[in-house]
Structure 1
């Protein structure tokens, strides 16, 4: 009996899990273990006043992302890949800021796990990209990827996925192109378009049909603002995009890009 009691006590005192984060930022890769990150010299406890995923204030042990992005330049492009297929496309410049909106890698301590994101769901761990003062950088909910497993430096989205590009006649100062930039920031983490993209999470937004083809009136905009107000189901994961993070003018540009791309469908590879 004593042996069983001691064994049980050991189980209770043992961390539930440990994880690793892979950084692919150039010719070599660096793997960080949970314990290494928790003991990183720049790690500190931060408070997030309005956590995007938990919808409440949260405290985290976190490392400023600038301390981990060795060799990354402001003009570079990064992708944060989550365990479940979420692939956030992230321009490097905001991640390297040390003033205003600042990016942090929050680390879940196995001895003190974070709460679940909802009934039957896991936590936002083991690694979660969070922001202090996000309003200063107009940070989108899609720039808060959780359950992150890998961060990669890649070429720009337009170079990797030409099927996402507007017509060649569309210049970079055209509203449609600005909508394309907003699509990258707000949608590409979960969705593909014309089969292009790395996300494994949400449906393709052009093949076989573009949402502008089956949402009439202002229902598409209402859906983007609050998905559960139009289609309510317990497992719905699309976040609501409030006017704070996606102002009405930007929402119009995003929908304008989708309308444009409805006329640029490309057959998927067999």
Structure 2
């Protein structure tokens, strides 16, 4: 009996990992894409990513043009990319249609040839959104979701989560409004605000206390640039945002938005 069990274990270990599934819902029914079928598609190809966001080095992937899996979307649409760990990236469809210079790809991990392990995060697979020419479209690090589980077409952030909106009386060119736009690109993929949002990776940034209420501006700015500079914790998942990912002007605007929202908490 023991010999049979050992043989079965050995057989399982010798087999490639089970094929994974990606669910895509663009409003006309869920479509499920499986690893094997994606790897064998006619438009799948090997791409080079010189500065990979997750691995911090050049990487090569077998990938499918992401737009090819999103038939029917328009430039004004909005999509949400949800990862297995609760990360929820909000990406305008215009960025994904390759009209701004950068091109999005769905990198597909071959179970027989797994990608390197990300320290502290495990595998980046089975699916990972990567970009070629990301600087042309000003693609930030939060728009490279890995461990991807689903893609959904949804209403825009402002429509779905009104409690995160700044005061509507603010003029269009106000720094708080610029900060709100930067907040959506950089913070909202991991955090909620005023209890609203789909991300489940980080804490709420306004309840019960806004970070601007308990951290000096210089310390909060340093924390966003390099979280380990304020609290050394090897297991922390929050990445730092350098000036390429978040300019000094955008960082100041995000802090202005957070300070503003500290005065816009929901009634208890």
Q: What TM-score does the superposition give when structure 2 sets the normalisation length?
A: 0.94
**Displaced runs of 4 or more, over 3 A:** 2-13
Residue of structure 1 in register with 2:119 after alignment: 118
What is the Cα-based RMSD across aligned positions, in Å? 2.0
Report the Cα distance in structure 1 between the residues aligned to 2:172 and 2:134, rounded to whole angstroms: 26
Structure 2 residue runs of 5 or longer lacking an equivalent are none
1:170-213: per-residue Cα shift (whole Å, max 9, x none)?
23332211111111111110000000100111000000111111
Partner of residue 256, structure 1: 256
Cα separation, 2, equivalents of 1:232 and 1:161: 33
Residue number in structure 1 paired with 2:188? 188
Residue equivalent to 1:224: 224
Contact 1:20 1:34 in 2 (8 A): yes
Residue in 1 that maps onto 2:145: 145
Q: Which residue of 1 aligns with 2:242?
A: 242
Contact 2:98 2:104 in 1 (8 A): yes
> Contact 1:141–1:239 at 8 Å: present in 2 too?
no
1:163/1:99 CA distance change after superposition, 3 Å: closer
> Normalising by structure 1, what TM-score?
0.93
CA distance in 2, matches of 1:18, 1:93: 30
1:170: which partner in 2?
170
Structure 1 residue runs of 5 or longer lacking an equivalent are none
CA distance in 1, matches of 2:232, 2:96: 34
Q: Secondary structure at the match of 1:45?
A: strand
Please state whether the residue corresponding to 1:89 is helix, strand or coil: strand
Distance in 2, Cα, partners of 1:5 & 1:84:
33
Aligned residues: 267
Partner-residue secondary structure (3-state), 1:218: helix
CA offsets per residue over residues 235-265 of structure 1, 9 Å max, x none? 1111111101211111111111111101101
Check conservation: 1:194, 1:267, Cα contact below 8 A: no
- Spell out the pairing of 1:66-145 with structure 2 (5 A cutoff): 66-97=67-98, 100-119=101-120, 121-145=121-145
